[in-house]
C-alpha cells in the first residue's frame, strides 16, 4: 500500500473512531485506490463491509486487499481477522489508529482451534464452529449463511429455516450419537444457538462473548434445547 492510500485509510480510521473503519484496495485504471466502505458491524470491535460498497468497489476495478482499523489497540491480527483473511483469499492491512506500526496479513492456511477460539459474530460463532467441526471431523461441507448480529431479534429464524436444506433431519426420539446437533433458544424468541454432541455427555459449542468450549450436556443446556438434529450422511 502506497503512502497516499495509507493516509486515506488513516483518515478514514480517524473519522470512524471509536468504531473500526473498513475499506478495500482497488486497482483502477492502473493505479491502487483506497475505497472507504460503510461498516455494518455491531459494536466497536468488528467490521462488516456493506455489500453495496463492496459491489461499487468491484465495479471500479480489481479488489486486491482488505483494510480495517484496530482503534486504540495494537494491529495484531485477531483469530477472526486470520479466519476472514483466509476466506477472502486477499491480503489484509490493519490500520493502527491513532498510532503504531501497520500490519499486513496474508492467507497462509490458518484454521482457528475448535476449543478456545475467540468470538466474532459471522466469522467465529456457534454456527462457524459447527461448520468447522463437520469439515474437520466428518469431511462434510456445510453451507455458510450471511447473518447479521442478533438476527433472531430481527424477525429471522435462520437455524429452523435452513437445517433441512443443509442436510439435517430431526431425531428427537433417537439415542444420541457423536455428531448430532442441538438447537437451543438462549434468551431468544427462536432457536439462536447450536452445539455438536461429542459423546460421553459432552457438547462443543461457542456462546456469544465467550471462548468456544466443551461442556456437559445437561441442566440448563438440555432445558433450552428445542431441536435434536442428525446429518443425513450420518443416519444409520
Could you tell me the three cell numbers for 197?
Answer: 454432541
What b/e string do you get for 94-118 counting C-beta neighbours within 10 Å, with b at 16 or more? bbbbeeeeebebeeeeeebebeebb
Write the CA distances from 31 to 2, 60, 64, integer angstroms. 10, 11, 11
Closest CA relative to residue 90, chosen from 142, 54, 126, 120: 54
For 128, counting Cβ atoms within 10 Å of its Cβ (0-12 exposed, 13-18 middle, 19+ buried), the class is buried
The dihedral through the CA atoms of 139, 141, 136, 129 has a sign that is negative
Active site positions, annotated: 126, 193, 205
Angstrom distance (rounded) from CA 20 to CA 171: 43
Angstrom distance (rounded) from CA 123 to CA 8: 27
Contact (CB, 8 A) for 184 and 194: yes
Amino acid at each position: 500500500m502506497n503512502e497516499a492510500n495509507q493516509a486515506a485509510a488513516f483518515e478514514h480510521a480517524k473519522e470512524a473512531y471509536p468504531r473500526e473503519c473498513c475499506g478495500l484496495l482497488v486497482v483502477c485504471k492502473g493505479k491502487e485506490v483506497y475505497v472507504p466502505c460503510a461498516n455494518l458491524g455491531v459494536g466497536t470491535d468488528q467490521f462488516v463491509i456493506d455489500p453495496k460498497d463492496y459491489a461499487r468497489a468491484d465495479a471500479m476495478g480489481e479488489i486486491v486487499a482488505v483494510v480495517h482499523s484496530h482503534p486504540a489497540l495494537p494491529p495484531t491480527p485477531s483469530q477472526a481477522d486470520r479466519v476472514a483473511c483466509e476466506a477472502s483469499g486477499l491480503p489484509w492491512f490493519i490500520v493502527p489508529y491513532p498510532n503504531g506500526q501497520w500490519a499486513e496479513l496474508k492467507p497462509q492456511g490458518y484454521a482457528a482451534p475448535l476449543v478456545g477460539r475467540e468470538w466474532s459474530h459471522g466469522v467465529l460463532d456457534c454456527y462457524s464452529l459447527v461448520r468447522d467441526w463437520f469439515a474437520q471431523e466428518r469431511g462434510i461441507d456445510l453451507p455458510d449463511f450471511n447473518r447479521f448480529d442478533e438476527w433472531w431479534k430481527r424477525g429471522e429464524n435462520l437455524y429452523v429455516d435452513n437445517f433441512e436444506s443443509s442436510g439435517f433431519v430431526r431425531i428427537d426420539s433417537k439415542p444420541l450419537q457423536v455428531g448430532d446437533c442441538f438447537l437451543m433458544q438462549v434468551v431468544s424468541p427462536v432457536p439462536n444457538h447450536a452445539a455438536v454432541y461429542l459423546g460421553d455427555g459432552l457438547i462443543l459449542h461457542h456462546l456469544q462473548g465467550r471462548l468456544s468450549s466443551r461442556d456437559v450436556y445437561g441442566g440448563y443446556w438440555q432445558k433450552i434445547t428445542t431441536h435434536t438434529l442428525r446429518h443425513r450422511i450420518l443416519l444409520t
